[in-house]
Amino acid sequence: MNETQRAKIILKILNKTYPKIIVPLQSRNVFTLLISVLLSAQCTDVNVNNVTKNIYPKYYKPQHFKKLGRKKIEKLIKKIGIFRIKAKSIYNLSNLLIKNHNGKVPKTYEELEKLPGVGHKTASVVMSQGFGYPAFPVDTHIHRLAQRWGLTSGKNVAETEKDLKRLFPKKYWNKLHLQIIYFGREYCKARSCYGLSCKICTTCYPNRKKPCLTKKA
């Protein structure tokens, strides 16, 4: 079985398992989505949602966070990991959005990735979930699963993203990256499946006997 055949099988299983997908991070608009994605680094979506549910009803524009100031932002997000660094990024990007983009979130990768705390993965999520642009955000979890499922031999998330975009039609990208995340959390867990027990692993690799060790991104 080659990678193209595996990709078709995986897409079929994921569509059957998750016919409908709910975006895990709660947001009020594209700006608050950007903030939530930034906050989710080294933090669970559940924790981010628990914190932002008390923030977004009142603060949901760059102008709000500029007025709050860095110290008050820190207090609002103090339950989230590396909150001081993230508060600095939120405050600075809010100022830049007001100064350079009339308070609006830009719609290009180039402009998004110039914002403080915004890398390619964060920009991809905003482009996908915020603007509906075909994108395939790849984090370390998707990188691990793509290796385990034989979809890439990429040494980092950038190489894995290229391979996944090549194997799957563009029309599936926005839904597919979330389906992979959900499947990994529920069935193909890093410390329980080991490439041996979930439906995707057993279907694509019926003769696999030893745990599949994946390379870190």
CATH number, domain with residue 184: 1.10.1670.10
The last residue of one of the domains, among 130, 150, 180, is 130
Q: How far is CA 105 from the centre of its chain?
A: 18
Cβ atoms of residues 115 and 154 within 8 Å: no
Domain check: are 105 and 146 in the same one?
no
Domain check: are 75 and 164 in the same one?
no
Number of domains in the chain: 2
| pLDDT tens-place string over residues 22-46 | 999 999 999 999 999 999 988 999 9
Domain check: are 12 and 69 in the same one?
no
Q: What's the CA gap between 149 and 91, in Å, rounded? A: 40
Residue 126 belongs to what domain range?
Answer: 30-130
| pLDDT > 90 fraction of the chain, expressed in percent and rounded | 90
* Tokens matching residue 181: 């995340």
pLDDT of residue 157: 93
Q: What is the mean pLDDT of the chain?
A: 95
The CB density around residue 170, as the number of other CB atoms within 10 Å, is 10
The last residue of one of the domains, among 105, 130, 155, is 130
- HSE-CB of 200 using CA atoms within 13 angstroms: 32
Active-site residues, by number, are: 121, 139
pLDDT of residue 161: 97
Greatest C-alpha distance within the chain: 60
SS3 (DSSP) at 182 = helix
* Tokens matching residue 73: 């932002």
| pLDDT tens-place string over residues 158-204 | 999 999 999 999 999 999 999 999 999 999 998 889 899 999 999 99
pLDDT of residue 5: 96
Residue 84: give its domain's CATH number. Answer: 1.10.340.30
Mean pLDDT, rounded, for 8-30? 96
The pLDDT of residue 125 is above 90 = yes
Inter-CA distances, 184 with 88, 104, 192, 211, 217, Å: 32, 34, 11, 16, 16
Question: Angle CA(27)–CA(103)–CA(119) in degrees, nearest 5?
Answer: 65
| pLDDT tens-place string over residues 148-165 | 999 999 889 999 999 999
Q: What's the CA gap between 155 and 160, in Å, rounded? A: 8
The pLDDT of residue 50 is above 70 = yes
Domain check: are 94 and 173 in the same one?
no
Scan for tokens 């594209």, then name that residue: 30
Cβ atoms of residues 19 and 181 within 8 Å: no
The last residue of one of the domains, among 84, 113, 130, is 130
Q: Is position 211 within any domain? A: no
Domain check: are 46 and 105 in the same one?
yes
The CB density around residue 93, as the number of other CB atoms within 10 Å, is 23
Q: Is position 103 within any domain? A: yes
pLDDT of residue 217: 66
Q: What's the CA gap between 202 and 205, in Å, rounded? A: 5
